[in-house]
Amino acid sequence: MSYTGYVTTGSVCSRFHKAVELIGGRWTGPILQAVLADRHRYADIKEAVPGVSDTMLPQRLRALEAEGLLERRVLPTSPVRVEYHATEKGSALLPALAAVAAWAEDWIELDAGSAQEVHSA
Amino acid sequence: MSYTGYVTTGSVCSRFHKAVELIGGRWTGPILQAVLADRHRYADIKEAVPGVSDTMLPQRLRALEAEGLLERRVLPTSPVRVEYHATEKGSALLPALAAVAAWAEDWIELDAGSAQEVHSA
């Protein structure tokens, strides 16, 4: 995997920053992972992403659809059934998310205060 | 590479977001890469990171030192010589940066306007 382009050309740098924005978007990783783990319906995705609210989840699903990471399918059943599927672009993002998560797990220490906050939440 | 922890525990999620912030920091990647490519002195790093200014570079070097990604060494020569070296934490970040850069290169399209802007800069 070459890393050279990132340094030498401005357009690659802009692409990189757009990617970081997407990756850093709240719930992007957990939602994508849930969908890739065969959870395609709203209720199933919600169950797989602990802590996400019914305000936040529809908003994030729309955003991920707008970014081309998820595809929303309306199945012509009665009543209609809505499913979310990862696009090729969305699936391809997982290794990058996993690499960032792995580094974070190894190297980022949380201060006692914020760890406390998380555990009691 | 497991991705599960990111989803299930809040503290991993906070770590992840701190990592994304670091990765998204301006020039983080290019500077780290230059240092890892054996450019240890200010002038050599500057040459390897096209477009970085003499205001921005010292600021970013200090920030990366504060985050524990770079180490600043003052060698007791006459005159003293200052060198920057990647820490283990800094070196370990490169695969994640490379994974994000690779995905961005494959999947992020710049609109004509911003591509133009970059090329004429």
pTM equals 0.76
DSSP per-residue codes, A17-41: HHHHHHHHSTTHHHHHHHHHTT--S
pLDDT category at A12 given cuts 50, 70, 90 is low
Tens of pLDDT, residue by residue over B55-101, are 999 999 999 999 999 999 999 999 999 999 999 999 999 899 989 98
Amino acid at A85: H
How many angstroms away from the CA of A31 is the closest CA of chain B? Answer: 9
Tens of pLDDT, residue by residue over A66-117, are 999 999 999 999 999 999 999 999 999 989 998 998 999 999 987 654 444 4
Q: How far apart are the first and last CA of chain B?
A: 39
Any alpha helices (H) in B25-111, and if so which ranges?
A: 28-36, 42-48, 56-66, 88-107
List of chain B residues whose C-beta atoms are within 8 Å of the C-beta of residue A99: 1, 95-96, 98-100
Beta bridge partners of A75: A81
ipTM: 0.78
Q: Is B36 on the interface with A (CB under 8 A)?
A: no
Judged against a pLDDT cut of 70, whether residue B109 lies above it is answered with yes
pLDDT above 90 coverage of chain B, percent: 55
Listed in order, strand segments (DSSP E) in A10-115 are 70-75, 81-86
Rounded to whole angstroms, how far apart are CA atoms B32 and B45? 9
How many angstroms away from the CA of A75 is the closest CA of chain B? Answer: 28
State the Rg of chain A over Cα.
17
Judged against a pLDDT cut of 70, whether residue A118 lies above it is answered with no
Q: Is A20 on the interface with B (CB under 8 A)?
A: yes
Interface test with B, best of A8, A33, A57, A103 (most B CBs within 10 A): A103
